[in-house]
Amino acid sequence: MIDYKKELNAAQYEAATTLEGPMLVIAGAGSGKTRTVVYRLANMVQQGIAASNILLLTFTRKAAQEMQHRAAQLLGQSAGMVGGVQGGTFHAFAYSILRMHKPQGYEGDLSVMDSADAAGALKHCKDTLGLGKGDRSFPKTQTVMGLLSKARNKELTVEDVLRREAFHLASYAGDLTRISDTYRAFKRRHALMDYDDLLFELERLLQSDADLLAYYRDRFRYIMVDEFQDTNLVQARLVRLLGSGHNNVMAVGDDAQSIYAFRGANVQNILDFPDMFPGTRIIKLEENYRSVQPVLDLTNAILDDAPQAFRKKLFTRREGGPTPHVLRPLSDLTQASMVTSKITELLRTYPPDEIAVLFRAGYQSYHVEMQLGKLGVKFKKYGGVRYSDAAHVKDVLSYIRLVVNPLDLPAFQRMASLVKGIGAKTCLKLYDAAQKADRSVLKKACARFPDLQHDLDMLDALRAKPLTPAGLTQAVIEHYQPRLEANYPDDYPRRQHGLEQLVQIAASYNDVDLMLSDLCLEDPATDKGEDISAVTLSTVHSAKGLEWSAVLLIDLVEDRFPSRHALNKAEDFEEERRLMYVACTRARDYLALFVPATIYDRSGGGNTPANPSPFVRDLPAHLYEDWRENFTGTLTRRQDARPVTVSAARTSGPASGGGRQAEQGGGALGNGGRPASGYCTHKIFGRGKIIQHVPPDKYRVNFPGFGLKVIMAQYLTLE
């Protein structure tokens, strides 16, 4: 028999041995969530619950298989009893039912398309409608697929998704809606479903067939759902549909780690679970088995101001450990040097694969990549491609390489390929003519391809000027901008950020040749994808579920972390806070937070002051060591730090409405006592006129050039 009291801590034991009634397990980071589910699964089988009556829903097939395998190992000779548990993803579960009970409205035998089949069907619908022909700016099929999937999973209109996340494609809203409608009809006519259809069609089937719903409720009398904070709206409704009646539903998750709203995840699902299932027992797993206490003290503090529903304090039995560091470099460029210096220092203690650099967005690691490359430190990047592998960066570098070396064939081929109508054979012919100075051939080609003439004229002009690396790079990017928008219409605003970083990288060089060698030369081992021990560079989203001995978190300034898009909506701001929490809880031993004092601004041609991230600014000072970079490049520890005084008027960002167990408080500007008229200033939109006070803590403001915006009071400075 398994000694559950000996194997589990008190909270885990309660969760594993409570088998009847609804239960919500709030599993803090590193608190043994999987272990708890495994022991509960084993206990259910030991207590005589038939495996066929148990439904285990996870977000990956691997997770379900691992849980069942570990439960089988615990049970030993009774292991075979676990095999009857239906475990897997929501989508696999939905398909298992739909293939036996085909929903109405589909003709013939039902088939589920993979992503390639779905893309082909969508392209067929687009071509049938005659949309996008001759329009190079029309979003590509994969982009359309992503937008329609996002609209489906978030249960929004296509227009809403474009307005929120792809404003540069808003002019195509009507066309994309037509494609969506045609695609939906095509699937029904041919008895096809794609990945997103499965959950909605299962819901429709269960709602329309009371007998079938009753059958599955009776069959799956015990339901366990992993990572409940990542469920979308339809997944939560399915859990409620299947669990209502017996109410033996255990949801496991952590509202503080809900960071996938962009995929459709809705944190409100886990917050509302006690309302979905009245009488829910709430159990909190707060003992952490990963991090040292100084790291946990800091991560607990990140959530202190969150209007979350389920308060918890992580603790550990791991004694000692270094105090986290807050390092304040002079700029985001010197930040890269500080990060690589810290990595070099950490490599004396940890192997490379125990060190990670985390960031909010993929482009933020570019400077670090450059510095690591110079030092010969191998790294692997997750969440965004390596900087020098990005297509738009390669495009710009091809121009720069041709300025330096007019006979650079690969660069000429890449530049020429950007001109519509020039293929591989024509490119080689033109290169040969350029090499031999055959003006007649070049003249004919330029007459046929005016864009090529424009490119060659630009290169000649740049070769005649004594430009710095930064000046040369700036000039090339300005020339390339129309190509960027034309060739990458789906996401050129994101790529533009990368090119802005390239100008800053160039500004750190006095020699173009040296800059090109650092950018273009790759480590052969890394190129081949060999399994080497390397430092990890990762977006925070890609780091979820992973851990390292040492974690360095960079670019902790406003507009980067939190992102500028999160400053106008309370729910977006709070997701950024949770993202910060997830990032910091990846660290086992050492945590460093980098807060550059200035950020490069390409439009202004220099560095501009940066405001520290509110998630750092609001941390009590006794929880970290504060180090500041001097003009000499040395670091000085600030000895005069004092704990932050918390008040209702703090500027940590917007606070949404509270919930169960939430501590509520509003900003001073949002609680009355101030006139809802006059003028104010916003960091992004500038000066505007206040039109209306929107209780409790927002204002509707008219900003010239931007129109009406509803802004959290904390982000406005009243005049």
* pLDDT tens track for 18-37: 999 999 999 999 999 999 99
Contacts of 541 (CB under 8 A, 6+ apart): 259, 260, 383, 579
Fold of 4-100+198-287: Rossmann fold (3.40.50)
- Residue type, position 241, single letter: L
CA-closest candidate to residue 516, choices 413, 372, 415, 399? 399
CATH number of 325-384+529-640: 3.40.50.300
Given a cut of 80, whether residue 258 has pLDDT beyond it is yes
- The answer to the question of whether 28 is labelled as a binding residue is yes
Write out pLDDT tens, residues 284-310: 999 999 999 999 999 999 998 887 678
Q: Where does the pLDDT of residue 653 fall: very low under 50, low under 70, confident under 90, or very high at 90 and above?
A: very low
Given a cut of 70, whether residue 615 has pLDDT beyond it is yes
Q: Left (φ > 0), alpha (ψ -120 to 50) or beta: where does 248 sit? A: beta
Q: Where does the pLDDT of residue 107 fall: very low under 50, low under 70, confident under 90, or very high at 90 and above?
A: low
Contacts of 417 (CB under 8 A, 6+ apart): 427
Give me the pLDDT at residue 528, please: 40
Give me the pLDDT at residue 657, please: 34
Domain parsing of the chain, residue ranges: 4-100+198-287, 111-190, 325-384+529-640, 387-511, 678-718
Q: Where does the pLDDT of residue 666 fall: very low under 50, low under 70, confident under 90, or very high at 90 and above?
A: very low
Give me the pLDDT at residue 78, please: 57
The pair phi, psi for residue 707, each rounded to 5°, is: 85, -165
Q: Whole-angstrom Cα distance, residue 229 to residue 247?
A: 19
665 CB burial (10 A radius; 0-12, 13-18, 19+) = middle
CA-closest candidate to residue 338, choices 543, 22, 627? 627
Residue with tokens 């890269």: 336
Domain pair 4-100+198-287 / 387-511, same fold: no
Q: How many C-beta atoms surround the C-beta of residue 464 within 10 A?
A: 8
Q: Determine contact, residues 287/27, Cβ cutoff 8 Å.
A: no
Give me the pLDDT at residue 330, please: 92
CATH number of 387-511: 1.10.486.10
Contacts of 374 (CB under 8 A, 6+ apart): 518
The pair phi, psi for residue 629, each rounded to 5°, is: -80, 135
Q: Where does the pLDDT of residue 77 fall: very low under 50, low under 70, confident under 90, or very high at 90 and above?
A: low
Secondary-structure percent of the chain, ordered helix, strand, coil, rounded to 5: 50, 15, 35
- The answer to the question of whether 31 is labelled as a binding residue is yes
The arithmetic mean of pLDDT across residues 403-423, rounded, is 83
Q: Which long-range contacts (CB under 8 A, 24 or more apart) does 417-420 make?
A: 418/451, 418/455, 418/483, 418/487, 419/449, 419/451, 419/452, 419/455, 420/136, 420/449, 420/451
- The answer to the question of whether 673 is labelled as a binding residue is no
Given a cut of 70, whether residue 449 has pLDDT beyond it is yes
Question: Chain-wide mean pLDDT for the chain?
Answer: 84
Q: Whole-angstrom Cα distance, residue 519 to residue 362?
A: 17
Count of residues in the chain:
719
End-to-end CA distance of the chain: 71
494 CB burial (10 A radius; 0-12, 13-18, 19+) = middle
Q: Where does the pLDDT of residue 566 fall: very low under 50, low under 70, confident under 90, or very high at 90 and above?
A: confident
Beta strands (DSSP E) in 519-595 are 535-539, 548-553, 587-594
Q: Which ranges constitute the DSSP H helices of 544-612?
A: 570-584
Interhelix angle 492-507/391-404, nearest 10 degrees: 40
Three-state DSSP string of 149-203: HHHHHHCCCHHHHHHHHCHHHHHHHHHHHHHHHHHHHHHHHCCEECCCHHHHHHH
Write out pLDDT tens, residues 200-247: 999 999 999 999 999 999 999 999 999 999 999 999 999 999 999 899
- The answer to the question of whether 30 is labelled as a binding residue is yes
Q: Determine contact, residues 403/479, Cβ cutoff 8 Å.
A: no
